[in-house]
Structure 1
Amino acid sequence: MDQPKIEAIKSYAQTIMESDQSGHGMDHINRVVRLSSEIAETESCDHFIVTAVAYLHDTVDDKLVANPKQAYQQLKEFLQKIDVSTIQIEQIIHIITNLSFSQELTGTAEKLTIEGKIVQDADRLDAMGAIGITRTIYYGGHKGNKIYDPNIKPRALESKAEYREESTVINHFYEKILLLNERLNTDYAKEKGKKRQKFLEGFLQEFLEEWH
């Protein structure tokens, strides 16, 4: 793996994500990189692509950046500047574009390579378990969402626009987070996901018991 390029990519991500207050900052990025590396050791894959995508996957996210189109252009120019090959840039951009839950939800995501599946698993694992619970509550507070309202029922989301509409923090667990475990790709992630899913289910049961 080309370490100087990876260090440059890490610095690029840091510049964009260091002031994030939505739960997608560098602590999240670094965990996704670590989890991606763990999963990659169990699969035949391009470790450079995996690591690059793990660092960059949120730098163009439309819920985090003001102008996603401009962010994609800046990312391409940066990768060209550090001499990442055209083929590698295409691979990185393709994965990032098709990685998200909302893309999968609407059926618009194109098939991911093994590198994409690895980072997708790592990103989803970080949305589960104790860390995932903390991030979901943190993001809900960041957006000004209610914690819970028993009169607002969880939705079966069918579109990205609907997914972007605000709901309660607890509903978000039912609308997305609880669904991630069944959408993991690799055997390693599926095994790791079992514990996190169980913890998440226990938390929600306890929360509802205490609330009522």
Structure 2
Amino acid sequence: MSLLEQTAAWVKAHHAGDSSGHDWWHIDRVRRMALRLAQDEGADPFVTELAALLHDVGDWKFHNGDEKAGSRIAREWLMTHHAAEDLVVHVCGIIDQLSFKGAGVNTDMPSIEGRCVQDADRLDAIGAIGVGRAFAFGGKFGRPMYDPDIPPELHATFAAYKSKGGPTLNHFSEKLLLLRDRMQTAAGKRLAASRHEFLETFLQRFLAEWSGDA
């Protein structure tokens, strides 16, 4: 099997049983979207697909806040399979910079391949699937859907963002509604517009039903 095939099989097993919205199907959607963006942007499809497959193998949210867990695990996998050092550096660099780290933290990508993967990952966090994933994650970690007495917070640092634990609905203001304006590819920006609109419609309906107005 090729490196991509081996990686896909390993990642699928690695994410088996996840119920937080970070399962294999999330990885697969990000991979397919990243490749779509890569084609439009002229990015290297091999690097893009490999980084997309590995982008969540060590997500800090599941590794006690360790923001280097992902690149460390990815590096070990790639080195075991004799990947070239420049490829390892590129893929691990993408993984290190990929995650949203708070409203006040810049996470722009230096490479076009990284921008394609990051936009694809962020597109999967908004729209209908994004809503489903947000509540799946909140339920997994015992967070309430909504508490009007706990306002959202725009975190200025990654440390503050990592320590958050508010209701799921706060996550919309703290992250999801910010992603449209942080897209870096032309197609990503186009696709994010309609998904962002869906988020706004959902929030309006949720709050109307919460208050008994709908």
Partner of 2:120: 122
Q: CA RMSD in A?
A: 1.8
Matches within 5 A, 1:6-25: 6-25=4-23
Counterpart AA for 1:210: E
Counterpart AA for 1:209: A
| Runs (5+) with no aligned partner, structure 2 | none
Matches within 5 A, 1:138-177: 138-164=136-162, 165-177=164-176
Counterpart AA for 1:188: A
The Cα shift of 1:82 comes to: 1.9
The C-alpha deviation readout for 1:91-117, integer Å capped at 9, x for no partner, is 00001001111078434x474210000
| Runs (5+) with no aligned partner, structure 1 | none
Partner of 1:200: 199
Contact 1:62 1:68 in 2 (8 A): yes
Cα distance in 2 for residues equivalent to 1:194 and 1:71? 29
Contact 1:136 1:169 in 2 (8 A): yes
Partner of 1:38: 36
Partner of 1:80: 79
Cα distance in 2 for residues equivalent to 1:13 and 1:181? 28
Out of 53-62 and 97-106, give the one that drifted further.
97-106
Partner of 1:29: 27
Q: What is the TM-score of this pair, normalised by structure 2?
A: 0.91
Contact 1:31 1:126 in 2 (8 A): yes
Provide the secondary structure at the position in 2 that maps to 1:13: helix
The Cα shift of 1:74 comes to: 3.8
Contact 1:145 1:169 in 2 (8 A): yes
Cα distance in 2 for residues equivalent to 1:208 and 1:14? 37
The C-alpha deviation readout for 1:107-135, integer Å capped at 9, x for no partner, is 4x474210000000000000000000000
The C-alpha deviation readout for 1:150-185, integer Å capped at 9, x for no partner, is 111111111222212101111110110000000001
Contact 1:58 1:64 in 2 (8 A): no
The Cα shift of 1:6 comes to: 0.5
Residues 103, 146 of structure 1: alpha-carbon distance in 2 compared, 3 angstrom cutoff: closer
Residues 122, 208 of structure 1: alpha-carbon distance in 2 compared, 3 angstrom cutoff: same
Contact 2:104 2:154 in 1 (8 A): no
Contact 1:181 1:197 in 2 (8 A): yes
Out of 183-192 and 161-170, give the one that drifted further.
161-170
Cα distance in 2 for residues equivalent to 1:65 and 1:160? 15
Identity %, equivalent residues: 37
Cα distance in 1 for residues equivalent to 2:105 and 2:96? 14
Residues 148, 74 of structure 1: alpha-carbon distance in 2 compared, 3 angstrom cutoff: closer
Contact 1:148 1:168 in 2 (8 A): yes
